[in-house]
Amino acid sequence: MSINRGPFNALVDDDGSGTTGTPWNKQAIQDVILNPVDAAIGGVWTNVAYTAADFTTTGGGAWTTSQPATWAYSLSDKTLIVALYGINWAITGAPVSLNVVIPGGYALARNTGGTFAMAHGGGAGTGWWVAENAFIKFYRDILGTPWVAGTNHLSGVFLLNIQ
């Protein structure tokens, strides 16, 4: 991933008089050099604005969420790193998956999956997640056993290969 040189190229050199050219101060260095480099190497985390409509279910039931304790992403080349930590969310019915829209409007290059930490219905353990289409889908287990109604918590860092 190359760094956008547009802001750098927009800087104007001083003619030696010290009175012309683009002022160069800490803010300019941060805006033109540091932030773009951080973004290119995945050093910048973007907090995701919470929208309840981004949290849905598949297979019936409902998932009532609130602002996650952590809901952010970072981009490193073609890898989107997503961090989600949600507590005291409510499940009604028996949904097969709990779904979250992939943040930032990014499109997947391929489906991926793995495990995440969770607690639900009085128990705790490891669940299975799959990123497909526009969602990260959380399954109670790899077999697709429906979730249990009640309070749930989930936490994980998810690596997604994006286009």
> Of the ranges 11-25, 45-59, 73-87, 90-104, which one carries the lowest mean pLDDT score?
11-25
Q: Is the CB of residue 140 less than 8 Å from the CB of residue 123?
A: no
Mean pLDDT of 24-39: 77
Mean pLDDT of 9-31: 78
Q: Domains along the chain?
A: 6-41 (no CATH), 46-161 (2.60.40)
**% of residues, the chain, pLDDT over 90:** 65
Residue 64 phi, psi (nearest 5):
-100, 115
Type of residue found at 104: G
- How confident is the model over 85-114, as pLDDT tens digits? 999 999 999 999 999 999 999 999 999 999
Q: DSSP per residue over the chain, as a string?
A: -----HHHHT-----SSSSSS----HHHHIIIIIHHHHHHHT---EEPPP-GGGEEEESS-EEE----SEEEEEEETTEEEEEEEEEEEEEES--SEEEEEPGGG--BSS-EEEEEEEEETTEEEEEEEEEETTEEEEESSTT-PPPPSEEEEEEEEEEEEB-
Mean pLDDT of the chain: 89
